[in-house]
């Protein structure tokens, strides 16, 4: 095995990419056949130097230029066991133990990966506190990366609530206390003027996806500052497990501009900058430096996913960079796409077309207005009516009540398109009575806001009201699954952002769906990467929604489900990726040419698989 080590590396001694990449690319040039896990790379054009790129200009540097002294070595012995990328623990074979100086460093037993998986799942299930499961899984990720992904892929429904919402929320709240090894890249105000250098400290050079947060709105939990790092880390582990993007090409980043969370500022274990959040020019300049450094370092085709930014910054950043970078805001666009998919699927259960429905939102931030706009675009696409018209069936309530035209003067810009003619209404329940929606969507981040009266009113207005409680984590859910089913007397079709167990009501079992952007972003990102897309367009989001809705089977509908189960997520992601890539080609935004004939097969061939490889 060939391995690359960076000296004094505090992060995982992540390894070998450069040499391995070089070999893979040479192979790709020699044979156009795709190998599992190598597909995305293999399609990259060969370079004049035989495939090994001079990434940071180290070869070309003159004497007055600074370079990074990267070193290469073959990993063996203790170093190999401590390298999460290549460590296999007890699964090293006798031959490998001999060849890699492992004799005596391991007990005699040789386990296969399946037995290791069984043992770890058994151990994980012993922990009763979800945060302990989270910590055990993070330890595994830092110890044996392939085994971590094998567990996550094979037990996705069981482990998703651990590495993702709701447990990741608690992990972020306590991130300073549970901190062990650093994960991801931290860029703080201290690094202003040096962000490019910071990026070059990351041991991987071939980055395809960055998930970045500034920690200001972590799920529905608010400002967690630097401790928001749990979110990019969690999202990217889903990019790999659910979407098959290689772990080495994923980069979690937290931008630390301070926090306005007093509790954290006074917490002795807080890991971030101990100062109030920078705003305005100072904030914009740091973000601008970051965006330029990323493009300079990784090129045009690196996907930057904005995650859990506060509303004002989220909309501004997306607007500012969507014409110059490959950017995607998961909370605006990913959530919109997953909800639209659920709505399209739900028509099979409730009847009519999308245009026949009336939508009411509680929450007019990123998720609320993002979903509302995508619904309006889809109706416009289906009916050919202008989007200004189709928006009129969609109503939003924010903290001040129903958004109506008399409030136009004081509304934030992203709320303005939703200010329709109506008298002012203060309370949600009165808005439900006045608007008579068929679909009620909670996207405010505030829990317990769908009261008994709200749900009962929805049930009195509709035979099958569609109720989506999207806010995360579970503590912020607008209502629980049990409340939705019991208060509506079993009439509601319900889905939520964070998972709920099935509910028994009057002898019948109701299975709630999980309307979470995790259905969309891994496949969406894979579609962008595999086509070499350089920009994101709304049409791609619509394509992703339609692809996800098409994956709901009759068997799922029979159970009242509007989303397919997460157990099939890799297949679902391949279909989403294929439709997104097809759209990128159609729009002339794809750079990997020629277009593969069968995009679903191609997507599958690009996906990372976590089985161990043999070492020579």
For ligand OAA, the binding residues (CB under 6 A) are 165, 219, 308, 330-331, 472, 497, 516-517
* Stretch in the footprint of Mg ion (CB under 5 A) among 182-190, 325-333, 371-379, 580-588: 325-333
Three-state DSSP state, 250:
strand
Least separation in angstroms between residue 471's CB and ligand OAA is: 7
Least separation in angstroms between residue 308's CB and Mg ion is: 4
Is residue 508 among the annotated active site residues? no
* Per-residue tokens: 352: 């009519």
Q: What is the dihedral of CA 70, 10, 105, 121, to 10 degrees?
A: -120
Among ligand OAA, Mg ion, none, residue 165 binds (CB under 5-8 Å by kind): ligand OAA
Q: Which of 235, 393, 415, 583 is catalytic?
A: 235
* Per-residue tokens: 613: 């490889």
Report the residue from 83, 96, 170, 331 that binds Mg ion according to the rule CB under 5 A: 331
Least separation in angstroms between residue 185's CB and Mg ion is: 19
Among Mg ion, ligand OAA, none, residue 604 binds (CB under 5-8 Å by kind): none
Among ligand OAA, Mg ion, none, residue 474 binds (CB under 5-8 Å by kind): none
* Per-residue tokens: 249: 């090409």
Least separation in angstroms between residue 306's CB and ligand OAA is: 10
Q: 401-402 and 394-398 as β-strands: parallel, antiparallel, unpaired? A: antiparallel
State how far the Cα of 435 lies from the Cα of 553, in Å rounded to an integer: 32
State how far the Cα of 370 lies from the Cα of 545, in Å rounded to an integer: 13
Among ligand OAA, Mg ion, none, residue 96 binds (CB under 5-8 Å by kind): none
Report the residue from 41, 191, 308, 604 that binds Mg ion according to the rule CB under 5 A: 308
Nearer to ligand OAA, 313 or 516 (CB): 516
Among ligand OAA, Mg ion, none, residue 366 binds (CB under 5-8 Å by kind): none
Q: Which of 149, 164, 270, 321 is catalytic?
A: 164
Among ligand OAA, Mg ion, none, residue 184 binds (CB under 5-8 Å by kind): none
Q: Does a cis peptide bond (omega within 30 degrees of 0) precede residue 166?
A: yes
Nearer to Mg ion, 216 or 308 (CB): 308
Nearer to ligand OAA, 51 or 565 (CB): 565
Three-state DSSP state, 378:
helix
Three-state DSSP state, 504:
strand
Asked if residues 227 and 172 have their Cβ atoms less than 8 Å apart, the reply is yes
Is residue 235 among the annotated active site residues? yes
State how far the Cα of 229 lies from the Cα of 607, in Å rounded to an integer: 25
Residue among 190, 126, 93, 39 nearest 609 (CA): 39
Nearer to ligand OAA, 331 or 398 (CB): 331
State how far the Cα of 16 lies from the Cα of 74, in Å rounded to an integer: 8
Least separation in angstroms between residue 415's CB and ligand OAA is: 19
Nearer to ligand OAA, 166 or 465 (CB): 166
DSSP track, 87-117: --GGG--HHHHHHTT-TTTS-S----HHHHH
State how far the Cα of 90 lies from the Cα of 192, in Å rounded to an integer: 44
Nearer to Mg ion, 536 or 578 (CB): 536
Task: List residues binding Mg ion (CB under 5 A).
Answer: 307-308, 331
Residues with a catalytic annotation lie at: 164, 235
């Amino acid at each position: 095995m060939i391995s690359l080590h960076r000296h004094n590396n505090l992060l995982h001694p992540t390894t070998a990419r450069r040499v391995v990449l070089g070999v893979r690319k040479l192979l790709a040039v020699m044979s156009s056949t795709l190998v599992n896990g190598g597909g995305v790379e293999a399609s990259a054009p060969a370079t004049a130097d035989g495939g090994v790129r001079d990434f940071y200009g180290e070869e070309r540097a003159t004497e007055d230029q600074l370079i990074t002294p990267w070193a290469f070595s073959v990993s063996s012995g203790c170093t190999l066991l401590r390298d999460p990328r290549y460590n296999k623990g007890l699964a090293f074979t006798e031959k490998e133990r001999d060849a890699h100086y492992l004799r005596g460093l391991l007990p005699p037993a040789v386990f296969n990966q399946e037995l290791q998986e069984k043992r770890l799942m058994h151990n994980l299930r012993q922990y009763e506190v979800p945060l302990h499961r989270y910590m055990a899984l993070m330890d595994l990720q830092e110890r044996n990366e392939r085994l971590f992904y094998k567990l996550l892929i094979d037990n996705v429904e069981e482990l998703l609530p651990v590495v993702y919402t709701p447990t990741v929320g608690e992990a972020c709240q306590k991130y300073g206390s549970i901190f062990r090894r650093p994960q991801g890249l931290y860029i703080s105000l201290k690094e202003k003027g040096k962000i490019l250098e910071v990026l070059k400290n990351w041991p991987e050079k071939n980055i395809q996806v960055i998930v970045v947060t500034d920690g200001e709105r972590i799920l529905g939990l608010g400002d967690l500052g630097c401790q928001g790092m749990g979110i990019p880390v969690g999202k990217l582990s889903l990019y790999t497990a659910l979407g098959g993007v290689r772990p080495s090409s994923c980069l979690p980043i937290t931008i630390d501009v301070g926090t306005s969370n007093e509790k954290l500022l006074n917490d002795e274990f807080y890991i971030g900058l101990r100062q109030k959040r920078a705003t305005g020019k100072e904030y914009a300049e740091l973000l601008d430096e970051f965006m330029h450094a990323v493009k300079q370092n990784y090129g045009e085709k690196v996907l930057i996913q904005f995650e859990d930014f506060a509303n004002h910054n989220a909309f501004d950043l997306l607007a500012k960079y969507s014409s110059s970078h490959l950017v995607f805001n998961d909370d605006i666009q990913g959530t919109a796409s997953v909800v639209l998919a659920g709505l399209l699927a739900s028509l099979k259960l409730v009847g009519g077309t999308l245009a026949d429905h009336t939508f009411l939102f509680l929450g007019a931030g990123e998720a609320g207005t993002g979903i509302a706009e995508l619904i309006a675009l889809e109706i416009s696409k289906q009916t050919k009516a202008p989007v200004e018209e189709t928006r009129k069936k969609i109503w939003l309530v924010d903290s001040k009540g129903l958004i109506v035209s008399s409030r136009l003067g004081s509304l934030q810009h992203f709320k303005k398109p939703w200010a329709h003619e109506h008298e002012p209404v203060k309370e949600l329940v009165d808005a439900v009575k006045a608007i008579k929606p068929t679909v009620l969507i909670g996207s405010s981040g505030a829990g317990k806001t769908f009261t008994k009266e709200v749900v009962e009113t929805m049930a009195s207005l509709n035979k099958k009201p569609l109720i989506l409680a999207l806010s995360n984590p579970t503590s912020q859910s607008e209502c629980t699954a049990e409340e939705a089913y019991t208060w509506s007397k079993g009439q509601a079709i319900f889905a939520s952002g964070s998972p709920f167990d099935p509910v028994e009501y009057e002898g019948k079992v109701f299975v709630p769906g999980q309307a979470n952007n995790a259905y969309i972003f891994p496949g969406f990102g894979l579609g962008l990467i595999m086509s070499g897309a350089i920009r994101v367009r709304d049409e791609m989001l619509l394509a992703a929604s339609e692809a996800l809705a098409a994956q709901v089977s009759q068997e799922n509908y029979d159970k009242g489900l509007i989303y397919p189960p997460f157990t099939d997520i890799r297949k679902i992601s391949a279909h989403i990726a294929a439709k997104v890539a097809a759209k990128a080609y159609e729009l002339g935004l794809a750079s990997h040419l020629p277009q593969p004939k069968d995009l679903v097969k191609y997507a599958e061939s690009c996906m990372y698989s976590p089985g161990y490889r043999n070492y020579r």
